[in-house]
Chains A and B, each alone.
Chain A
Amino acid sequence: MIISVKDLRREFVIRAPTGRIWRNRTTVHAVDGLSFDIAPGSSVGYIGANGAGKSTTIKMLTGILVPTSGTVRTCGLHPVKQRKALARRIGVVFGQRSQLWWDLPLRQSYRTLAAIHRLPAAERTARQGELVERLDLADFLDTPVRQLSLGQRIRGEIAAALLHSPELLILDEPTIGLDVLSKERLRVFLAEQRASHGTTLLLTTHDMDDVQRLCDRILVVDHGRLAYDGTLPGLVTRVGVDRVLTLDLNKPSPPLTGIPFTRLVDVEPDGLRQRLAFSPQETTAAAVLAEVGGRTDVRDLTIEEPDIEDVVRRLYLASPAPPR
């Protein structure tokens, strides 16, 4: 197991002033009894709402934060006691915190990082060449980092984290703030690195396309506890989120109510566009369409897959945090 977490807990004491002198101490359980293992070579999405404990977990996995209790082993190492040994074997990208030198161009940052990781010259040249090519960095390799666009900087950050060929890459919100095209290119690159180098990926994200495209396993964390561990389709099945069928009709039609196993979501005022929700377990799009076809003419249709954020929200609603 490249990551092994057993009954991991982390508490924070928050002190809020309640007057001139006294301060109120509140203990917050940011991570509250997490256990999971991650196998080498897998790609895991670590998702949850803001404040669910994602970043706290990552800090404990990488040796930035000491757990209150429980055990963590990353690459078989104790993250805090063996911090330096671990740093040689993992790469970490924080989407909102830079690891680069803002006043230096990427080329010089990579030279410095290579020296920090004591990479042999030949290895460094080959690896940097690969990363520059695959992440398309050549055009701005000599521009100071502070002048780069967000998309360019994130690509630069990811190359920096991968320069020493780590076996585990941890990404905290890697695609935050990127445009659709940049996100997609980044996902292609990460999938490729995993395929060619066997790099294990662990990413936290709010972008559900990231999960859909990159991860073969998801961990959903809620109030510091594991709320789900499995595949994305499995999660969708478990919370039973509906698909939505949007129908564009040829002529204004009365509301399409009473179609078996469907729920009418909305009707646009003229009745030209109507939306029906159904569960794939109960009926199929074809059956629904056949029923609608008997009533009116369908010009066009789209099927919306469930939005994973919605899925997670439903998961939270289904299992509210027990009172403490």
Chain B
Amino acid sequence: MADRLAPYAALLASRVRSQATYGRSFALDVLGSAGVGIFEFAEVYIIFANVDALGGLDFAGVAMVFALANLAFALADLTVGHLDQLPTYLRAGTLDAFLLRPLPVLAQLVTSDISLRRLGRAMVALVILGVVLPLNDIDWTGARIALLVIAPLAGAAIFAALFVLAGAVQFWLVEGGDFTAAFTYGGSYAASFPASVFAMPMRVLFTFVVPATFVAYLPTLVLLDLPGPVGLPQWLGWTTPVAAAGIWSLAALGWNAGLRHYTGAGS
């Protein structure tokens, strides 16, 4: 296994080295990314200056949804956020270079960049999570602790799959970046609010089409032992890894079809 992963470790190490070359600009990037997280949280805070509860959750609950969603998204953005830049790779001929190496193209693409600056946003989410967890009334059991660890990771996997799908769509669309961003960044936005505030069609869309509510809201229902809104029972909160597996199988199919389209259509 270690032998199989060695090429990717080397690829990632080369990326980390190149980012560390420009220390000051890297530090500014990290700060900027942290700033994005802080401003988004400010939005939640301002809403709560005007209401006491949002979608059945109090401020601590909504902050937890926000923190879990942001942590998951930041982790996915960190590792595969560059996938929606696929047209740039296509134009630069990078994909042809990948096809000439004895590794799967998607694995090379994922490891061709790692945006360490996005650690800034992940840190902000982690800090908010650390602060709001004690403010929530959670009946800690072994299963709930496990869920707290698994949810952000499975959530990151869900967003990563969305990025892969967004990348796959770019094989067909010449300039589809804005269209796919609606699903990746839009999914992230939807995930950071309690789904109970959405109207029913949106709730279904962001659960069963784009599985955004699985990332933070549904696990939060389990952690706080709250009943879900109509259509979203609490037990769904345990199934975040299942949702991740589901969207990943779709992403893998989409990616392979996209790559076949690319080698079939030429550049």
Chain A interface (Cβ < 8 Å from any Cβ of B): 10, 12, 56, 59, 62-66, 80, 83-85, 87-88, 90, 92, 94, 97-99, 101, 103-104, 108-109, 111-112, 115-118
Contacts and interface: CB of A to CB of B under 8 A. Distances in A.
B93 A12 contact: no
Interface stretch (B60-68, B96-104, B152-160, B198-206): B96-104
Nearest to A113: B101
A104 B102 contact: no
B267 to A, nearest CB: 8
Contacts of B266: 10, 12, 56, 59, 65
Interface residues of B, number: 25
B99 A63 contact: yes
A66 B264 contact: yes
Nearest to B11: A112
B6 A115 contact: yes
B53 interface: no
Contacts of B96: 59, 64, 94, 97
The 3 lowest CB-CB distance pairs between A and B, nearest first, are A115-B10, A97-B93, A87-B102
Given A98-B97, A104-B18, A118-B3, 8 more contacts: A56-B266, A64-B96, A87-B100, A92-B100, A103-B18, A111-B14, A116-B102, A116-B103
15 contacts: A59-B266, A64-B96, A64-B263, A84-B102, A92-B100, A94-B93, A94-B96, A97-B96, A101-B14, A103-B21, A115-B6, A115-B7, A116-B7, A116-B10, A116-B102
A116 B108 CA distance: 10
A56 B102 CA distance: 21
B247 to A, nearest CB: 26
A94 to B, nearest CB: 7
B16 to A, nearest CB: 11
Contacts of B97: 97-99
A99 B101 CA distance: 10
B109 to A, nearest CB: 14
A64 B264 CA distance: 9
B135 interface: no
Contact of A83 (B9, B11, B21, B99): B99
Contacts of A62: 99-100
B11 A116 contact: yes
B8 to A, nearest CB: 9
A166 to B, nearest CB: 10
Interface core residue of B17, B100, B102, B264 (most chain A CB under 10 Å): B100
A80 B263 contact: yes
